[in-house]
Amino acid sequence: MELDFFTPVNEDLLAETGNKLASSLRLHLADKAFPDLEGVKIAIFGVLEDRLDEDRSGEPFNFDGIRKEFYNLFAGNWHLRMADLGDIQKGESVEDTFFAVQSAVSECLKKGIIPVILGGSQDLLYAQYRAYDGVESMVNLVNIDSQFDLGDADKPISNKSYVGRIVVTKPYNLFNYSSLGYQTYFNSQDEIELMERLFFDAYRLGEVTGEIAVVEPVMRDANLVGIDLGAVSGGALGNYRLRSPNGFDGKEICALARYAGISDKVSSFGIFEYASDYNFPSAHMLIAQMMWYFIEGVNFRKNENTISAKKEFIRYQVPIDDEVLVFYKSPVSGRWWIEIPFISPANNKLKRHSLLPCTQGDYLDACNQIIPERWYKTKRKNEI
C-alpha cells in the first residue's frame, strides 16, 4: 500500500468512543505506524476531491463528522477485521487523485480487502472502476443514483459523464451497468433509450421502493457499487434545502447498502457526492449507518460464489420456445440463479457458462413461458 497517499485520521474523533466501533478498527493515526493490513477484510478511506463536480461550490469539506458518528456506533456480531486508512487529499491535478484512488483500490483488491470509499464528486467512481484493470476480466457496476451519468464521452469527464467514459475507454472491462433509483425527469429520453440499446439495467425509483427486494439479484451480480447521495431524499438527510425532495428514505438506502454488503461478489463500495452542503449531524449519521449496514452485510455473506458451493445447487430445466432455461437454487440460502449459455464460436465475453442471479419469480415466470428480461439482456450482451 502506498502510504504517501493517505493523511491520518483526526485523533480528536476518538474521544468518548469507549468500547464502540472505533475500538475495533485499526486506525491510521499521526503518532503511530500505518496500520498492519494483515487479515483485514474491510478498509475505509476518504477522498477529498471535487474539482470535476459540475455544481461545485468551492467550499472545503472533510469526513470528520461522518467518522465521529461511525466511530460511536456499536459493532454488530461481527467477525471481520477492519481498518480506517485516513484520507487521500487532492493531488496536483485531478488525474493525480485518480491515480492515487486507482492504486489504493487495486492494492486492496489484490490483498482481498474490500475498500469502503467516502468521496467527493462521483467521477471518482471512474478511478474505482479502473482499479479492476488486470484484476477482473469483465466487471459489473451498480450505481444507486437519480441520474444515469452517461453524459457525452467526447467531452471532458465530470461527475455527470463518467459512465460514458467507462463505456468507451480501453480496456473495455465493463460487462453490465445497472442504475438503481433513477428519476425520469433528471434523465433525457436519449439517455433512457441508450440504456436500452446497450442492454443495461435501469430501475426507476418507484420500482425499487415499491419492492426493494427486486434489486437483490442485481447486487448479487455486482463487482463494485457506488451510491450518489443525490439519490437520497433531502428529508432523509435532514435538510429539505438539498437538491431533490424525492429519493430513497433512510431505511431504504440502508437496505440497499446491506444488499451490496451481503453480495459475495461485491469487492468495493463507495459513497459519493459528499460536500459542505451535507455538513450537519443527521446527514453524518445516515451516511455512518449506510457504512454500518454494508459492513454487516459483508459479515453475513454465504460464500455461495464458489465452485464447491455451486455443486450443491438444485438444478431445474424449463423448456420455453426454442430454449431450455436452466435454473439453480441454493439449498442453504434459498436464492436462485439462471444459467447464461456459452456461445461458440461467437465472441463470448464470459468465455464460459455463467450463472446470473435471479428470483424465484423469474423461475415461476419461465414456467409460464415468460422469458426473464435480465436473462435476455445478459444473453444479448454476451452475443454482441
Contact 167, 174 (CB under 8 A): yes
pLDDT of residue 239: 73
Rounded to 5 degrees, what angle do the CA atoms 42, 284, 227 make? Answer: 60
Rounded to an integer, what distance in angstroms lies between the CA atom of residue 41 and that of residue 27? 14
Is the distance from CB of 223 to CB of 125 less than 8 angstroms?
no
**DSSP characters for 88-129?**
EPP-SSHHHHHHHHHHHHHHHHHTT-EEEEEESSTTHHHHHH
Q: What angle do helix axes 250-262 and 281-299 make, rounded to 10 degrees?
A: 30
Residues 355 and 260 in one domain: no
- Please state, in angstroms and rounded to a whole number, the distance separating the CA atoms of residues 28 and 35: 6
Instruction: Give first-to-last CA distance, the chain, whole Å.
Output: 38
Q: Are strands 139-144 and 224-228 parallel, antiparallel or unpaired?
A: parallel
Co-location of 357 and 228 in the same domain:
no
Q: Are 88 and 309 in contact (CB under 8 A)?
A: no
In sequence order, the 6+-apart residues with CB closer than 8 A to the CB of 378 are 176, 199, 340, 356
Q: Are residues 135 and 67 in the same domain?
A: yes
Strand partners, 357: 337
Domain match, 210 and 170 both: yes
Residue 134 has a pLDDT of 85
Looking at the structure, do residues 29 and 141 belong to the same domain, yes or no? yes
DSSP one-letter code for 280: S
32 and 177 part of one domain: yes
Q: DSSP H helical segments within 16-78, as ranges?
A: 64-71
Residues with pLDDT less than 70, the chain = 1-3, 240-243, 343-353, 384
Residues 167 and 279 in one domain: yes
pLDDT at site 241:
63
| Contact present, 250 and 238 (Cβ < 8 Å) | no
266 in the same domain as 350:
no
What is the CA angle 168-273-195, rounded to 5? 35
The rounded distance, in Å, linking the Cα atoms of 46 and 211 is 32
Positive or negative, the CA dihedral 249, 299, 62, 5 is negative
- Please check whether residues 295 and 320 belong to one and the same domain: no
My answer on whether 295 and 317 are in the same domain is no
The two counts, helices (H) then strands (E), for the chain are 12, 14
Q: Outline where the chain has alpha helix (H).
A: 64-71, 94-110, 124-130, 162-168, 189-197, 205-210, 216-220, 250-262, 281-299, 307-310, 360-367, 373-383
The three cell numbers of residue 98 are 485518480
CATH number for the domain spanning 28: value is 3.40.800.10
Q: Which of 90, 87, 154, 166 is nearest to 123 (CA)?
A: 166
Q: State which of 269, 299, 329 marks the end of a domain.
A: 299
Q: Which of 266, 283, 299 is the last residue of a domain?
A: 299
In this structure, the answer to whether residues 253 and 206 fall within a common structural domain is yes
The distance of Cα 305 from the centroid of its chain, to the nearest Å, equals 17
**End of a domain among 246, 278, 299?**
299
Q: Is 283 left (phi over 0), alpha (psi -120 to 50) or beta?
A: alpha
Number of domains in the chain: 2
Domain carrying residue 48? 3-299
284 and 314 in a single domain? The answer is: no
Cα–Cα distance, 174 to 183 (Å, whole number): 23
